[in-house]
């Protein structure tokens, strides 16, 4: 199985590049952000809890995310591989993912770490905010999301360096240029 973790700050292009990767490699896509937004839209129990965190730019608690992901993963049992988009975001999430995949006889194949300058991240998210209708694409929430990213999520890079899975990808430039770099990295491990 080809299991790809796509990682980076908010606005680094995770969702954008995931769409291209799933087409090229016929992978299943699990975006924790998309699953949470769908739970919010349907006003489920999880959606109601998640809303408070997301609007403040905070991470949803690990336990809720890990339980949610386990269910989604079970629905992809016959998959050729999965792209994990926006997950893991903390060390406990990365440990839980490793355990879940190992129990299913597989593991993460590669972790792509998209590197984008902070002013470019803010610019992209504000631009998206004009049309997305997302309650977290405003300057105040973007600033909290970036702070949370630096404190809680960025240290995860070392976890994957230790696993020998980490590949840094320059995330500046056109969407096609960045995808070219990603394909090179994936083709080297598949
Ligand atoms: P996500 O949905 O994962 O949000 P994101 O990080 O902002 O999005 P992404 O990185 O995919 O956006 P992209 O750059 O592609 O999470 C939202 C919230 O949900 C989190 O803040 C958190 O509260 C919660 N959550 C999600 N997962 C969680 C977890 N595992 N644990 C706890 N909480 C969790 O797109 C940004 C914009 O840039 C787009 O408009 C795009 O068109 C544009 N863009 C992309 N590439 C570009 C390029 N090369 N040039 C110009 N523009 C570009």
Q: Superfamily assignment of 4-187 in CATH?
A: P-loop containing nucleotide triphosphate hydrolases (3.40.50.300)
pLDDT digits (tens, 9 = 90+) for 136-150: 999 999 999 999 999
Tell me: is residue 17 an annotated ligand-binding position: no
Residue in 19, 32, 96, 97 to alter for ligand 1 test, most ligand atoms within 8 A of Cβ? 32
Asked if the model's pLDDT at residue 78 lies above 90, the reply is: no
Domain definitions of the chain by residue range: 4-187
In this structure, the residue with its CA closest to atom 6 of ligand 1 is 10
| Mean pLDDT of all residues in 42-71 | 96
Would you call 14 a catalytic residue per the annotation? yes
- Pairwise pLDDT comparison (78 vs 53), residue with the higher score: 53
Contact (CB, 8 A) for 85 and 18: yes
Residue in 4, 11, 56, 146 to alter for ligand 1 test, most ligand atoms within 8 A of Cβ? 11
Asked if the model's pLDDT at residue 66 lies above 90, the reply is: yes
pLDDT digits (tens, 9 = 90+) for 87-136: 999 999 999 999 999 999 999 999 999 999 999 999 999 999 999 989 99
Asked if the model's pLDDT at residue 77 lies above 90, the reply is: no
């Amino acid at each position: 199985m080809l299991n790809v973790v796509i990682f980076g700050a908010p606005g680094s292009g995770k969702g954008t590049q995931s769409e291209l990767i799933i087409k090229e490699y016929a992978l299943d896509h699990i975006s924790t952000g998309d699953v949470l937004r769908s739970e919010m839209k349907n006003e489920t129990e999880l959606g109601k809890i998640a809303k408070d965190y997301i609007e403040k730019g905070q991470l949803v608690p690990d336990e809720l995310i890990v339980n949610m992901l386990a269910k989604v993963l079970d629905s992809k049992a016959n998959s050729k591989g999965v792209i994990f988009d926006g997950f893991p975001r903390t060390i406990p999430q990365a440990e839980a993912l490793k355990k879940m995949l190992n129990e299913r006889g597989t593991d993460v194949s590669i972790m792509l770490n998209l590197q984008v300058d902070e002013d470019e991240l803010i610019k992209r998210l504000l631009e998206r905010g004009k049309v997305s209708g997302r309650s977290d694409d405003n300057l105040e929430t973007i600033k909290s999301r970036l702070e949370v990213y630096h404190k809680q999520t960025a240290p995860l890079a070392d976890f994957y360096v230790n696993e020998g899975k980490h590949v840094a990808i320059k995330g500046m430039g056109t969407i096609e240029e960045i995808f070219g770099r990603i394909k090179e990295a994936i083709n080297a491990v598949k």
